């Protein structure tokens, strides 16, 4: 890898769809440094199976996509942001195709499928169930062909450096322990989600909420952290990771069965298996809780569907399930909900600008309010694409302040074994008290425990310690926001406040270092 420069024009932290699209746009205005803590190919984007939603089919309209997005968001969607998403989406998709992205086709026509809460078949996919991987491949190839874009892998961004309220640099930690600071005109955080704050998650190990934690420590406003989407169907087999079983399976006709092998979704929602994700996830949890059967799982039933079609449509899912002893074409597939997508994040405007000058965020680490309380299936990749492009346009106007930077970091030897144990205990506690179903007493107990852990982990040196520190910060933000929202809405369900309360909570939570409030 080339040496890391001490300064550049623009820094992009993260190599997923939002970061790569932003880097490509920024290259027109100067030098771009893309920083990733693993290989550039390792991000949530690479694991996105179902597809990317866009109103491009003959029977679809942008207004229908907008309405579906609003309906799924349970009253909290920022309509202006959602309109940007659906209106600019088609152009961004055509751009991807022009750059070599190979979406699945029937003859010369793009193939569209349907997923939960969509009123039309508008989901593009690639290689069956490897859509994110294919989009990432095309964007990486495009970015690597541009001389102004430099990549540095295996560099962990630990903190943002400020001059008063302006972000002017980032602090980094190399795999060999070397520390350095890189200055830039503007910084984009496209660090993805934070699924690793939960014991059960579909997210890869890199999803530790680093960007959100860094921004919060630097003083940025954070919004809607109580809204963590739990995907209803993750593979639940002993010894297997919580591998995502795409909603597209239910779009193809898969049914959900409870532990007694009975279909149950018609009792919960008129859209049955294609109901919004929060509804399906809670239904599964409730059906499991009502049963005395073990193991504590529900089942996805595809046995009535054409086996050859399933193997061709979902090759990655089929092969992975077979690896763990399950044939999706012939057996019931054991599933449970798992943490999947964070609707909240760094509060930004429609140009991806945060509350700190010089700091931008896009993709899952950002919160424009575009998803409201519950993201519509397959809108996540589109969000990264659209707002990554918008971030680039806004960042081009940033010019260097040429001032000194300061990074407030506590450095020292941490007990990494204790740090790892702390992270493990945090994940289990978050799943128990801040998971699919929550209540006040459990949240308050969890918040006190997190704050105790935060006081213990004051010195960090290794990447794993920083990740634990970031997970604690994210957990703190989620729990404080969940306590403040004394209602149930979208992905946030309080057993002690089971109803939606528009009179008091038809607004977004905002957390800063000083307070938690709604606006």
Q: Which domains does the chain have, with CATH numbers?
A: 1-227+343-407 (3.50.50.60), 232-339 (3.90.700.10), 410-500 (1.20.58.100)
- For residue 96, the cross-strand partners are none
d(CA 276, CA 119): 12
**CB-CB neighbours of 6 under 10 Å:** 10
**CB-CB neighbours of 312 under 10 Å:** 11
Supply the Cα-derived Rg of the chain in whole angstroms.
22
Long-range contact set of residues 348-351: C-beta below 8 Å, sequence gap at least 24: 348/387, 350/80, 350/81, 350/84, 350/390, 351/390, 351/391, 351/393, 351/394
DSSP string spanning 58-108?
TT--HHHHHHHHHHHTTT---HHHHHHHHHHHHHHHHHHHHTT----EETT
For the chain, the first-to-last Cα distance in angstroms comes to 45
- For residue 167, the cross-strand partners are 162
Q: What are phi and psi of 447, to 5 degrees?
A: -60, -40
- Torsion of Cα atoms, 243 then 248 then 250 then 253, to 10°: -130
CA distances in angstroms from 233 to 247, 395, 409, 417, listed in the order given: 8, 38, 40, 32
CA distances in angstroms from 144 to 1, 119, 133, 140, listed in the order given: 13, 38, 16, 6
Which pLDDT score is estimated for 411? 45
Establish whether 277 is a catalytic residue.
Answer: yes
H or E stretch covering 250 = helix 248-251
Strand, helix or coil for residue 225: coil
Q: Report pTM.
A: 0.93
Question: Which residue is catalytic, options 21, 122, 277, 282?
Answer: 277
For residue 242, give the DSSP letter: -
Which pLDDT score is estimated for 415? 56
- Cβ(31)–Cβ(11) under 8 Å? no
- Cβ(198)–Cβ(461) under 8 Å? no
Q: pLDDT tens digits, the chain, 519 residues: what are they?
A: 567 899 999 999 999 999 999 999 999 999 999 999 998 877 767 766 668 999 999 999 999 999 999 999 999 999 999 999 999 999 999 999 999 999 999 999 999 988 778 899 999 999 877 888 999 999 999 999 999 999 999 999 999 999 988 999 999 988 788 889 999 999 999 999 999 999 999 999 999 999 999 999 999 999 999 999 999 999 999 989 899 998 889 989 999 999 999 999 999 999 899 888 889 999 999 999 999 877 899 999 999 999 999 999 899 899 999 999 999 999 999 999 999 999 999 999 999 999 999 999 999 999 999 999 999 989 999 999 999 999 999 999 987 655 555 565 544 445 567 888 999 999 999 999 999 999 999 999 999 999 999 988 876 678 888 999 999 999 999 999 999 999 999 999 999 999 999 999 999 999 998 899 999
Which pLDDT score is estimated for 311? 95
d(CA 428, CA 200): 8
Which pLDDT score is estimated for 412? 47
**How many residues would you count in the chain?**
519
d(CA 141, CA 99): 9
d(CA 507, CA 154): 39
d(CA 65, CA 82): 9
- Cβ(518)–Cβ(508) under 8 Å? yes
Beta pairing class for 123-124 and 112-113: antiparallel
Q: 160 in the Ramachandran plot: left (φ > 0), alpha (ψ -120 to 50) or beta?
A: beta
Q: Which residues fall within 8 angstroms of residue 356, CB to CB, at 6 or more apart?
A: 160, 162, 165, 166, 167, 215, 218, 219, 220
- Cβ(23)–Cβ(12) under 8 Å? yes
| Cis before 186 (ω within 30) | no
């Amino acid at each position: 890898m080339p040496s890391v420069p001490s300064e550049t024009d623009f820094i992009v932290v993260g190599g997923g769809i939002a970061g790569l699209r932003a880097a490509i746009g920024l290259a027109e205005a100067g030098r771009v440094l893309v920083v990733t803590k693993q290989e550039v190919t390792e991000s949530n984007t690479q694991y996105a199976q179902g597809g990317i939603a866009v109103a491009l089919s003959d029977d679809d309209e942008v207004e229908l996509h907008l309405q579906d997005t609003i309906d799924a968001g349970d009253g909290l969607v920022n309509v202006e942001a959602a309109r940007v998403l659906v209106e600019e989406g088609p152009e961004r998709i055509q751009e991807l195709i022009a750059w070599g992205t190979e979406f699945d086709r029937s003859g010369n026509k793009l193939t569209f499928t349907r997923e939960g809460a969509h009123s039309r078949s508008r989901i593009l996919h690639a290689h069956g169930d490897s859509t994110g991987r294919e989009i990432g491949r095309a964007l990486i190839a495009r970015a690597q062909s541009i001389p102004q874009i430099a990549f540095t892998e295996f560099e962990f961004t630990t903190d943002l450096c400020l001059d008063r309220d302006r972000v002017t640099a980032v602090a980094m930690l190399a795999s060999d322990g070397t520390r350095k600071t890189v200055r830039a005109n503007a910084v984009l955080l496209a660090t993805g989600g934070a699924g690793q704050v939960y014991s059960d998650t579909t997210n890869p190990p890199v999803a530790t909420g680093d960007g959100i934690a860094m921004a919060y420590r630097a003083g940025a406003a954070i919004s809607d952290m109580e809204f963590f989407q739990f995907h209803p169907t993750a593979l639940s087999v002993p010894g297997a990771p919580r591998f995502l079983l795409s909603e597209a399976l239910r779009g193809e006709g898969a049914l959900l069965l409870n532990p007694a092998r009975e279909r149950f979704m018609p009792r919960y929602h008129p859209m049955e298996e294609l109901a919004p994700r929060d509804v399906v996830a809670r239904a599964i949890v409730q059906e499991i809780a009502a049963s005395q059967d073990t193991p504590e799982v529900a089942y996805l039933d595809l046995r009535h569907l054409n086996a050859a079609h399933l193997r061709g449509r979902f090759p990655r899912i089929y092969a992975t399930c077979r690896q763990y002893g399950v044939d999706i074409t012939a057996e019931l597939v054991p599933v449970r909900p798992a943490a999947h997508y964070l609707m909240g994040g760094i509060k930004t405007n429609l140009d991806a600008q945060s509350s700190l000058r010089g700091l931008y965020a896009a993709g899952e680490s950002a919160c424009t309010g575009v998803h409201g309380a519950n993201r519509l299936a397959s809108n996540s990749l589109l969000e990264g694409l659209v707002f990554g492009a918008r971030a680039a346009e806004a960042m081009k106007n940033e010019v260097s302040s040429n001032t000194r930077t300061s990074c407030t970091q506590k450095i020292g030897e941490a007990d990494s074994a204790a740090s790892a144990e702390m992270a493990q205990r945090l994940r289990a506690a978050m799943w128990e008290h801040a998971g699919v179903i929550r209540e006040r007493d459990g949240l308050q107990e969890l918040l006190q425990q997190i704050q105790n852990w935060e006081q213990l982990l004051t010195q960090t040196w290794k990447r794993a310690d920083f990740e634990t520190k970031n997970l604690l910060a994210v957990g703190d933000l989620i729990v404080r926001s969940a306590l403040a929202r004394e209602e149930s809405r979208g992905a946030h369900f309080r057993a002690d406040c089971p109803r939606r309360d528009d009179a008091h909570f038809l607004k977004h939570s905002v957390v800063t270092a000083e307070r938690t409030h709604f606006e």
